[in-house]
Amino acid sequence: MTAVSEAVTSSSAMRTREATVRRFALTDTIFRTATRLSAILVLVLLGGVAISLIAGSWQALSKFGFSFLTTESWNPVTENFGALAPIYGTIVTSAIAILIAVPIGIGIAVFLTELCPRPLRRPIGIAVELLAGIPSIIYGIWGLFVFAPFLQTTVQPFIINLFHGIPGLSSLFAGPPYGIGLLTSSLILAIMVLPFITSITKDVFDTVPAVLKESAYGIGCTTWEVTRRVTIPYTRVGIMGGVMLGLGRALGETMAVTFVIGNAHRISASLFAPGTTISATIANEFTEADGDLYTSSLVSLGLILFIITFIILALARYMLLRIDSRTGA
């Protein structure tokens, strides 16, 4: 009886193990299939967006051709459209915003992780993260009614007088001081992308192993040397990701920019002059677009923004690969 009982128990245990293995195999198959379909879905959505933009912009691109990218004129009455002014405004405002926000964001992250007293770290970190939760239209209203008048009456006249007569700089900061314009829009964008860059940079700084920093401090390195030679090299991929997230927000921002940029379809050498961006142009004029060519031109602006974003992300990825190859990664 004992032998029979043991055989039955062994057979039952074997069947249980087989059932468990089959269940695990089925679960793994379902999980693998679901993740693969999710990845394919992303590609399908991306391809669908690209195809929709190309189809919607085909009429404008076929009529204007390459001149659509090199023409500044934007006249709905005569149906003469050119995207140069919105492209210029988008690139200039985003570039200035990133140039301002990146060093400040990294500086705040270094302060919070290395220098800030512990009781103040959490309140300052929460304050920075709250900036990311403010709706863009609030930034726009604040920029139009508070920030722009302040720039118009104080900062812009001072800068105009400061650089008056200096070749190059006098044209770059030429008056009159409107308050609104490319520079105002860039500053608002810098404030908006700052919390994204700061938060991500701080999080990746916290991932640096303590033994690396302690070893650097142990051989006499200063905080600046530890940050420059240990922390930033160790987290460069994460920092680049934060910068790209901020740049994507700056490129696609609509409402805040629309309030303070002036919405003028022209290119000026002065950063104080009104201008426009691709997103602001689409937001302002899409509901008023009368005619297929007008609508197609606005969709073409969306396609151009899509391509600009793709090119910037590709360049960022290429830069990371170059950095990794130089460090032997």
Encode pLDDT of 11-50 as tens digits: 666 777 777 777 778 888 898 999 999 999 999 999 999 9
Choose among 102, 145, 143: nearest CA to 244. 102
Verify that 101 and 124 share a domain, yes or no: yes
Query: Residues 95, 177: one domain?
Result: yes
Residue where a domain stops, chosen among 33, 63, 93: 63
Q: How far apart are CA 286 and CA 69, in angstroms?
A: 19
Output DSSP code: residue 201. Answer: H
Q: Are residues 120 and 236 in the same domain?
A: yes
Round to whole Å and give the CA distance between 301 and 307: 10
Cα(243)–Cα(313) distance, integer angstroms: 11
Tell me what pLDDT residue 11 has: 64
Q: Which domain holds residue 128?
A: 67-327
Tell whether 28 and 106 lie within a shared domain: no
Q: How far apart are CA 280 and CA 265, in angstroms?
A: 11
Same domain, 59 and 89: no
Q: Are 103 and 26 part of one and the same domain?
A: no
111-127 burial, b at 16+ Cβ within 10 Å, e below that, comes to ebbeebeeeeeeeebee
Which uninterrupted H or E stretch holds 81? Answer: strand 80-81
Separation of alpha carbons 193 and 101, rounded Å: 7
pTM of the model: 0.85
Q: Omega of the bond prior to 117 within 30 degrees of 0, cis?
A: no
Query: For residue 224, what is the domain's CATH number?
Result: 1.10.3720.10
Going residue by residue through the chain (329 aa), what tens digit of pLDDT does each one get? 555 555 556 666 677 777 777 777 888 889 899 999 999 999 999 999 999 999 999 999 898 888 888 888 888 888 889 899 999 999 999 999 999 999 999 999 999 888 888 888 888 888 888 888 888 899 999 999 999 999 999 999 999 888 888 888 888 888 788 888 999 999 999 999 999 899 889 988 988 888 888 888 888 888 888 888 888 888 888 888 888 888 888 888 888 999 999 888 888 888 899 999 999 999 888 888 788 899 999 999 999 999 998 888 888 777 777 766 665 55
Give the number of domains in the chain.
2
Last residue of a domain, one of 45, 63, 81: 63
